[in-house]
Amino acid sequence: MIFIMAAGGGVGRGTVEALMRQGVPAPEIVGGARNPSNLEWMLAAGANARAADYNDTPGMVEAFRGIETLVLIPTMSAPKPRCVEHQNALNAAKAAGVRRVVFLSIQSGGKESRFLMTPFFVFAEDATQRSGMKWTIARMSLYADPLADWLPDLVRMGRLPYPVRNGCVAYVAKADVSNALAATAHRNDLDGEILDFTGPASLSMPEVAAEISTAAGVTIPFASITDEEYGDICRAEGCNEGMITGMTSLYHAVEAQEFARATTDVEELTGTKPESISEAILRLRRDR
Ligand SMILES: NC(=O)c1ccc[n+]([C@@H]2O[C@H](COP(=O)([O-])OP(=O)(O)OC[C@H]3O[C@@H](n4cnc5c(N)ncnc54)[C@H](OP(=O)(O)O)[C@@H]3O)[C@@H](O)[C@H]2O)c1
């Protein structure tokens, strides 16, 4: 049995659906959510849904009974509480007799990272490796999907404004992360492996702007801006100061090439080339 934690989220649901498409029988798939009534679509498909809250260790022990492979998709909590959540899940998995944990991590510069969320991922990777269970770690690049949400604003502004000069990113579509995560979960030969889930190419910001322009049908050039200008843009879009600090740190990490590595792992796992930024944007906007 394969258990997907946070199965109601974007990547979680995509992973459950990919497991079914990849031939895992639905009764062998279990989704976990704080409120399992959000997972009725799984029951309708013949899969299982159980209550599982990262902050309820005894509840997770019950939820993980009979599970062979546990896929841990992290939440959006701040780094410190997220570390507690991850350790709770590992403790529960150990107690329930889970054999293997697949952890969805992120690329970045490890302990030297400039991204404020990275300390969680460093802790969680280390705790997973020391858990005593078999493990596989999948490090994703930055999602391409938010660029599709941002497209109307980018067209209005007439530029792609980031506080970046030379940084490159191998943006990856959430759908490709889900497909690769599902393949990782049902393969039995990936114990102790660290994978990189990335898009097809590492692109500079002017190249990212060219991809966005292709999807938009108009030219949207890249504009390298200061942290202050970026903060003003985020503020105008309703972001609070904590979010702005976090996002600015993310682009400092981009400038340090922390998300620049492109690999063929997604294609090797799924048999399909991952989407380019323009392909992902066009699909996401078509499917709305
Ligand atoms: N690579 C990137 O660029 C990038 C960007 C942003 C985030 N991320 C990371 O990727 C993860 C997955 O992305 P996503 O798009 O699937 O996120 P999402 O759609 O926001 O889903 C997050 C899920 O976490 C669940 N959750 C929250 N607190 C929980 C708890 N205490 N116990 C159990 N489940 C809980 C939520 O469940 P409920 O339905 O109960 O609310 C939700 O299903 C994010 O959570 C974040 O860690 C990556």
For 129-171, what is each residue's pLDDT tens digit? Answer: 999 999 999 999 999 999 999 999 999 999 999 999 999 999 9
Measured over the CA atoms of residue 38, residue 15, residue 117 and residue 189, the dihedral's sign is positive
On whether the CB atoms of residues 116 and 249 are closer than 8 A, the answer is yes
> What does the angle CA 81 – CA 84 – CA 90 come to, to the nearest 5 degrees?
145
Ligand 1: does its nearest atom lie under 6 Å from the Cβ of 93? no
Residue 218: exposure state from Cβ atoms within 10 A (0-12, 13-18, ≥19): exposed
Regions of the chain where pLDDT drops below 50: none
| pLDDT reported for residue 109 | 80
Cα(145) to centroid of ligand 1, in Å?
Answer: 14
- Please state which of the four CATH numbers 1.10.510.10, 3.40.920.10, 3.30.230.10, 3.40.50.720 is assigned to the domain occupying 2-141+173-198: 3.40.50.720
Pocket test residue of 13, 35, 57, 73 for ligand 1, highest count of atoms within 8 A of CB: 73
In whole angstroms, give the CA distance from residue 91 to residue 101: 12
Tell me the three state secondary structure of residue 138: strand
Name the region of 46 (left: φ>0; alpha: ψ -120 to 50; beta: rest).
left
Tokens 């090439």 — which residue?
A: 257
Radius of gyration of the chain (CA): 19
Q: In this structure, what token pair is assigned to residue 117?
A: 């969320």
Point out the ligand 1 atom lying closest to the alpha carbon of residue 7. 43
pTM (2 decimals)?
0.97
Q: In this structure, what token pair is assigned to residue 280?
A: 């992902």
Indicate the domain borders of the chain.
2-141+173-198
Provide the terminal-to-terminal Cα distance of the chain, rounded to the nearest Å. Answer: 33
In whole angstroms, give the CA distance from residue 242 to residue 67: 38
| pLDDT reported for residue 288 | 84
| pLDDT reported for residue 65 | 98
Name which of 282, 265, 249 is nearest 115 in CA terms. Answer: 249
